[in-house]
Amino acid sequence: MRTAIENRKTKETSVTVELNLDGTGQSEITTGIGFFDHILTALSKYSLIDIKILAKGDLETGTHHTIEDVGIVLGLALAKALGEKKAINRAGWFEFRYMMDDAIAESIIDLSGRGRLVFEGKNNNNLQFSNESVGSIPSEEIREFFLALAENMKANIAIRLTRSGNSHHEVEAVFKAFGKALRMAVENDPRSRGQIPSTKGVI
Ligand SMILES: [Mn+2]
C-alpha cells in the first residue's frame, strides 16, 4: 500500500496529513477554514487519493500560515507515499472544463524530483483570480499553497487558468484540474514492470 503519515508542529500551526495514493477519493479535512476544506475535498475526490488532514493554525493572524503549512505537509506526505516512484506514470495532464462553462483551468505535473511552480493566466501572465478573496480566504493564498506543495513533494507543477469566471469556480477548476493531473501522475503503469520512470534510474 502506498500510504504515508506526516506531522509538523511549529509555533504557528500543527498539521497532520495521512494519505493513501491507491484510494477511492475519501477524505476527512479539518483545517478550520471552510473554503479550504471544500477545495481540498475536491482535490481528494478528483485525484482518488484518500486524504485525512487535521490542521490547527493561528487563524487569528489570518489564513496564510495554515494554508501554506498544509501545502508543506501534504507535499511531504505525497513524496513519502511515492517512495522511489517505481512503476508510476510520473507525468500527468488534464484539462478540466467546469460544467457551468465559465471558469476553465488546466494543470500539468511531472514528479521529477525537482520543485517548481508555473502559475499563470492567459498569455503567460501571472494568474489573477477575479476577486481578491474567495470563500473566506485571500485568493493570493492559492498560489502559496501550490508553491509549498511543489517544493515539498518535489514536483514540477503547472497550473493555468485559461478562462475567468466566478472566482469560486475559478479556484475549484484549478483544484480539480490539478487533482486529475495528480491522479494520472501517481498511477501505476502496469507495463513499466516496477521500474523507476527515469533514464537516470533515480528520480
Ligand atoms: Mn464549490
Cα 126 to ligand 1 centre (Å): 23
Domains of the chain: 3-192 (3.30.230.40)
Retrieve residue 7's grid coordinates: 506531522
Distance CA 86, CA 75 (A): 18
b/e per residue 14-24 (b: at least 16 CB within 10 A)? bbbbbbbbebe
130-149 residue pLDDT tens: 999 999 899 999 999 999 99
Cα 153 to ligand 1 centre (Å): 26
Distance CA 184, CA 142 (A): 22
Given a cut of 70, whether residue 96 has pLDDT beyond it is no
Cα 19 to ligand 1 centre (Å): 23
Cα 159 to ligand 1 centre (Å): 19
Cα 170 to ligand 1 centre (Å): 10
22-73 residue pLDDT tens: 999 999 999 999 999 999 999 999 999 999 999 999 999 999 999 999 999 9
Cα 164 to ligand 1 centre (Å): 15
- Check residue 30 and give its pLDDT: 98
Cα 17 to ligand 1 centre (Å): 22
pTM of the model: 0.95
Distance (Å) of CA 120 to CA 106, 123, 131, 161: 10, 8, 16, 7
Cα 35 to ligand 1 centre (Å): 8
144-197 residue pLDDT tens: 999 999 999 999 999 999 999 999 999 999 999 999 999 999 999 999 888 999
